[in-house]
Amino acid sequence: MWLLVLLVAIAGFEGLSILVSRNQLKQFDASIIDVVQGWESPTLTKAAKLLSAVGSSSVTIPLIIVVAVVLFIVLKHRKELILLIGGMLGSTLLNELLKRLYHRARPDIHRIIEQEGFSFPSGHSMAAFTFYGLMTFLLWRHLPSQRWRIALLVFSGCMILSIGLSRIYLGVHYPSDVIGGYWISACWIAVCIRLFRRSARVRESN
């Protein structure tokens, strides 16, 4: 199953990155931006800024620390702690590498906030997908019932989607930046979980 997820995510990111490099997504991006920014209102702007802040390192790092404390002290899981921290660090480095590789400028459109740096793939989207994806994986078996697991999936999915949409709404990312961030994060999570499970099997066999 993990291999299928990895291959689909790689294919999705590779196909999208080719279209981005050839500048063939202008109409796609523009149509979605028109819809999302058409929702603009003072209330939504405040919400988008809040969600964007939640996806930033200033909030993500404390969240990682909180989850790390729960894993290490409450659940006594040190190996899972390595997966979480290593996964997030790797996601950050991968995002920086890809941004330097593609050199895509940020949208020259109506911007509600200003943001420096390159655009593809979205760092906020990658951080959100990686963090909430790994959090879901790590907490899944500790939840007492199927109802709690569904709630975790819904919460994580809503946070990932909302943070991505906030970046489009605020005018600092193209929709393809956000989708690209999701695809490459899915690749990264699949690799991290595979390595984590293989390491666990090796430890059990020794």
Classify residue 132 as exposed, middle or buried by CB count within 10 Å of its CB (0-12, 13-18, 19+): buried
How many domains, the chain? Answer: 1
| Token reading at 138 | 């790590």
The mean pLDDT value for 32-47 works out to 92
Domain limits at 181?
2-205
| Token reading at 205 | 């066999």
| Token reading at 129 | 């997908």
0.75 exceeded by pTM = yes
pLDDT tens-digit series, residues 138-178: 888 778 888 999 999 999 999 999 999 999 999 999 999 99
What is the reported pLDDT for 142? 78
CA angle 104, 107, 109 (to 5 degrees): 165
The mean pLDDT value for 36-62 works out to 88
Phi, psi of 120, deg, nearest 5: -110, 130
Report d(CA 198, CA 206) in Å as an integer: 13
Classify residue 72 as exposed, middle or buried by CB count within 10 Å of its CB (0-12, 13-18, 19+): middle
Classify residue 44 as exposed, middle or buried by CB count within 10 Å of its CB (0-12, 13-18, 19+): middle
Check whether the bond before 121 is cis (ω within 30° of 0). Answer: yes
What is the reported pLDDT for 18? 92
